[in-house]
Chains A and B, each alone.
Chain A
Amino acid sequence: MANPMQQFSVETIKPLEVAGYDVSFTNSSLWMFLALAAISVFLFVGTARPQLVPGRWQAATEYLYDFIRKMLDENVGPEGRRYAPLIFSIFIFVLACNLLGMIPWVGSFTPTSHVTVTFGLAMIVFVTVCVVGVWRHGLHFMTLFWPKGANPFLGAFVFSIEFLSFLMRPFTLAIRLFANMTAGHVMLKVFGTFVVTLGSFGALPYVFGILPLAVVVALTALEVLIAVVQAYVFALLASLYLNDAVNLH
């Protein structure tokens, strides 16, 4: 029987090496580029001829873009709009990777189920937040961790905790998405193997496979929901962190 973890194995398609580092093109890379291709089609068709009264494709792209812009308006304020392309890129990349991974096919792969990928995305957010914070406020950015009006001793204590939690952000951001994706896919695969084992019961074939199959269908719907929600959560947290950098408090 197939191991439920096998779906996460990274298979090398074309071995490559740059400066001593292994940068082989793998199935993970392939699915990231499939996501990129899907996003490109979506965006280039949607914005081919932008019109005041949008067509279907344009309305769809606008809906997503407007969603991100509104989120930034609410969480960051008027300053947030300039970061809309970045947050939009993160959101749509995570969303595309999550959703493409839901294709029920043996070769499909979910890049966001790898903590390396989610950590890379989280680091993009983290580095952006640090750069924006220091660029806008200089060393004043450090007051983000200082509780206002506290005495120096308590303040230093809270400062260290706040600073540590700030440093933990990329990890929590990465692990949240990775754990959600991994858990969902493992569960799907486990119930998928139940369909086969119960359905191949010799005396009464297929009948006992129906129940786990129904569970897999329901779980697939749930996982599609989670795929969308986790992309949203990732983008929402990114915009909240960005708010810290832009507005300090």
Chain B
Amino acid sequence: MPQFDFGNVFWPQIFWLAAAFALLYFGVVRLTLPKLGKVMDAREASISGDLEAAKAAKETADAVNEAYQAEMNQSREAARSAIAEAKAKAAKSTETRLAKAGAKSDATLAEAEARIAKAVAKAETEIANAAAVNAQAIVAKLTGVEPKLDAAKSAVAARN
């Protein structure tokens, strides 16, 4: 194999490899790659900057949305409590009016009952009187002696 004929192939190849590689590294790669690296880094930076800006914008939007939601909740709460208050007020006023009306009707009822009781008592007395007078008359007719009215009354009362 010619590869192992080091006496003839070693130094010429090592020398020209060193020359070619030195040229490649210092003359080509060192001149070109840093430019490329700079551009790639700039691109990376600009992309990550854009991403960061987008992230910040999203965060702002989220915060605004959150504030909006909170305000909405607050006003909803306020509306709810206003409704509850109004309802309670209405219920209370109805109750008081009902209570007032109830008291008035109770009073009227009581008055009417009292009047009825009076009338009943009066009627009863009149009936008793009439019965006593009748009894007086009956006794007078039967016995010829007219009893006293008071006695007849008590007798009628005793019969009841």
Contact = CB atoms under 8 A, between A and B. Distances in A.
B33 A113 contact: no
**Chain B binding surface, main DSSP class:** helix
Contacts of B1: 5, 8, 182
Nearest to B1: A5
Contacts of A130: none
B30 interface: yes
Interface in A29-86: 29, 32-33, 35-36, 39-40, 43-44, 46-47, 50-52, 54, 58, 61-62, 65-66, 69, 84-86
**Chain A binding surface, main DSSP class:** helix
B8 A124 contact: no
Contact of A47 (B13, B14, B36, B42): B36
A29 B21 CA distance: 11
Contacts of A144: none
Interface string A185-216: 00000000000000000000000000000000
Nearest to B46: A52
B36 A114 contact: no
Contacts of A178: 3
What range describes how many residues of B lie at the interface? 35 or more
A120 B18 CA distance: 8
Interface string B5-45: 01011111111111011011100111011111111101100
Interface stretch (A15-23, A149-157, A161-169, A233-241): A15-23
Interface of A: 5, 8-10, 12, 18, 21-26, 28-29, 32-33, 35-36, 39-40, 43-44, 46-47, 50-52, 54, 58, 61-62, 65-66, 69, 84-86, 88-89, 92-93, 111, 113-117, 120-121, 124, 178, 182
Interface of B: 1-4, 6, 8-18, 20-21, 23-25, 28-30, 32-40, 42-43, 46
